Chains A and B, each alone.
Chain A
Amino acid sequence: MTSLALMGLLPPGIELRAGSIRLEGRELTPDLAEGRTPREVTMIFQHPRGALNPTMRVGRQVARVLRINQGLGASEAKEVAVDLLSRVGIPGAERVARAYPHQLSGGMCQRVMIAMALGCRPKVLIADEPTTALDVTIQAQIFDLIRDLVAETSCGVVFITHDLAAVAEMCDRVVVLYGGQVMEQASTVDLFERPSHPYTRYLLESVEREVDPHIEEKDVDFGLPGCRFAHRCSEVFDRCVEFPPQFDVGDGHTSACFRHAEENSVAS
């Protein structure tokens, strides 16, 4: 939702109230919210096949992005589009450019979408669970592709996922979110070594072994103040009804849990 807001793609009826996004020290919010081009931040989505227009040839969809964001002419955009498609590892790009999304596999569609994103020449690419709908083998290929492209174009990636393995493989820094609240922030290595927030620990444990039976599955109640994870947390105590600030736990690692305040006061 945050990234949709940032892209100016909120569904009708929801509006942006507060917050700002800065890139290289410049305020981006109004530009993005109003859909101004060229896009410095762009986004790729899950379910790649549904995310492409079913009645438009994929080559045209890529070319259209090029015309809008790079100001290319129609024929030039067409050539560059084919180039881009082969750059994202599509064999026989000429032929695929003339295909419709339903004729391509999910992995192929995701490559097309990445090609479109590249066509924006973004400084930041938001990838919203780009591989959840794909086979494991294809996932690995898409990860490799994104990594290569990042190295090539020096563009930043915001990777949204539930898959901790993907996090370990792809990311430098992690922000753990629960119910829209930031729970914990750290470098990837630090997070896996020293998970500080109860939710993060719960998340990591859930991969390793069976889940603690005391933590039952519940819907997030957005109506309540305080820590959103509180009603499922096994370490919940009376301060959790307040909104938790980020506590610094060292090395640029922060965690939003009042337990840290308790520990600190005990230690000092």
Chain B
Amino acid sequence: MRRYLIKRAGISVMTMLGIVIVVFFIVRVLPGDAAAVRAGPYATAEKIAQIRAKYGLDRPLWEQFVDYLAGVARGDFGVSVRTDQPVLGELLSRLPASLELAVYSVLVATVIGVPFGIVAAARQGTWVDVVARVFAILGSSMALFWLGLLMIYFFFFRLGWFPGPVDRLAVGTPPPPTVTGFYTIDGALAGQWEVVAMAFRFLALPVLTLGFVLAAPILKMVRSSVIETLASDYVRTARAMGVSPRTVLFVDGFRNALLPVTTTIGIVFGYMLGGNIIVEYLFSWPGVGRYAYEAIQTNDLEALQGFVIMVGILYVALNVVIDLGYALIDPRIRLGRKVTA
């Protein structure tokens, strides 16, 4: 187990280093004149020169790279061209909003995908299975921005059940005192129940939009791995010994199917870190995705680069967590080789 962890950590560090190098290459080398891109399409030659000096873009490339690497290692992601603020600080202040959205969306996706997948696997070939399959294809073909607009049109404009796409809370409502940064939790901790209710109402549409799309891969994975375990020798044994089909499905089938499903849920969560630029923009959600959107609009490559590095590093870290979770579920990894030969 320990050797496994060390090896895993080593690979992760290498990948993170690779991320930093790739992003550096994309942002500094690819554009040709990095200063011109930063200055925007209407900048004067003077302005470009000024930016070149300010960001050290006139120095040799390798010097820039070493500086940049040292900066990232210290947690210095550079300064935003647009706001003149350190990028990392701005990202961190917006991260809780994104995480709250991500957590609830993945939760909804899991609540839809897992039971639906199990039932589809148990009733293979019936109409439930067909509905599940069409649902899965619909989910993986869905354009987030279209579904989001559909939700806004029906549930906000037509029915008025949920608030419009403005923010995390209604204008003028002060956020609850910050503990976790999740308004739904902080509100509850402060006993401000009307804030909690409002936070949930503002979360509803973006969460439903993402949850629907994210449920598709989870559903597919649950279905195929439950089918696989149900066809396994040990399920046959359990049935021969009189264990009921229901118990076999939910205890033997599900527990073993959990392994690939955990991975999928993790990947889905990782995908959320980047996929929610669209949803955060659409619903004016003040998270890191919205920050990235604003950076794009203003050619703020420093900020965009910070966002991409953060997404990459979170993604790698997340994969480590998934692997640990995997190890906890699967005794074959947790306990290593055999006791008796």
Contact = CB atoms under 8 A, between A and B. Distances in A.
Q: Do chains A and B touch in the complex (CB under 8 A)?
A: yes
Contacts of A43: 240
B229 to A, nearest CB: 9
A186 interface: no
Contacts of A37: 242, 244
Question: How large, as a class, is the contact surface on chain A?
Answer: 35 or more
B94 interface: no
B255 interface: yes
Contacts, number: 98
A64 interface: yes
B6 interface: no
Given A45-B236, A55-B255, A104-B340, A65 B241 contact: yes
B329 A108 contact: no
A120 B243 CA distance: 11
B236 A51 contact: yes
Given A12-B124, A38-B242, A103-B340, 5 more contacts: A35-B244, A54-B331, A55-B256, A64-B243, A103-B337
Given A12-B124, A54-B234, A103-B340, A117 B241 contact: yes
Contact of B340 (A54, A55, A56, A108): A108
A41 to B, nearest CB: 9
A36 to B, nearest CB: 8
B245 A35 contact: yes
Interchain residue pairs A-B with the least CB separation, the first 4: A37-B242, A43-B240, A39-B242, A50-B233
A100 interface: yes
Interface in A52-79: 52-56, 61, 64-65, 68-69
A264 to B, nearest CB: 42
A37 B240 CA distance: 10
B224 to A, nearest CB: 15
Contact of A116 (B241, B331, B339, B340): B241
Interface stretch (A3-11, A149-157, A214-222, A244-252): A3-11
B3 interface: no
B242 A102 contact: no
A38 B235 CA distance: 18
A39 B235 CA distance: 16
Contact of B237 (A96, A99, A113): A113
Nearest to B338: A103
Nearest to B239: A9
A7 B239 CA distance: 8
B330 interface: yes
B113 to A, nearest CB: 21
Contacts of B231: 11
Interface in B266-309: none
B189 to A, nearest CB: 37
Contacts of A45: 233, 236-237, 240
B335 interface: yes
A83 to B, nearest CB: 17
Given A11-B231, A100-B331, A42 B236 contact: no
Interface residues of B, number: 30
Given A100-B331, A103-B339, A103-B340, A9 B240 contact: yes
A116 B338 CA distance: 21
A50 B242 contact: no
Contacts of B338: 102-105
A55 B329 contact: yes
Interface of A: 7-9, 11-12, 35-39, 42-45, 47, 50-56, 61, 64-65, 68-69, 96, 99-100, 102-105, 108, 113, 116-117, 119-120
B240 A54 contact: no
A39 B241 contact: yes
A120 B236 contact: no
B66 interface: no
17 contacts: A9-B239, A35-B239, A37-B244, A42-B242, A45-B236, A50-B234, A51-B237, A52-B234, A52-B237, A53-B237, A55-B255, A56-B255, A65-B243, A100-B332, A103-B338, A117-B241, A120-B241
Contacts of B239: 7-9, 35
A51 B339 contact: no
A12 B255 CA distance: 21
B252 interface: yes
B335 A100 contact: yes
B232 interface: yes
Contacts of B330: 54-55
B242 A35 contact: yes
A268 B82 CA distance: 111
A30 B255 CA distance: 30
Nearest to A107: B340
B341 interface: yes
B238 interface: yes
Contacts of B243: 64-65, 68
A11 B330 CA distance: 27
Nearest to A47: B233
A121 to B, nearest CB: 11
A216 B159 CA distance: 75
A99 B340 CA distance: 10
B257 to A, nearest CB: 10
Contacts of B256: 53-55
A117 B337 CA distance: 27
Contacts of B337: 103
Contacts of A35: 239, 242, 244-245
A44 B237 CA distance: 7
Contacts of B241: 39, 42, 65, 68-69, 116-117, 119-120
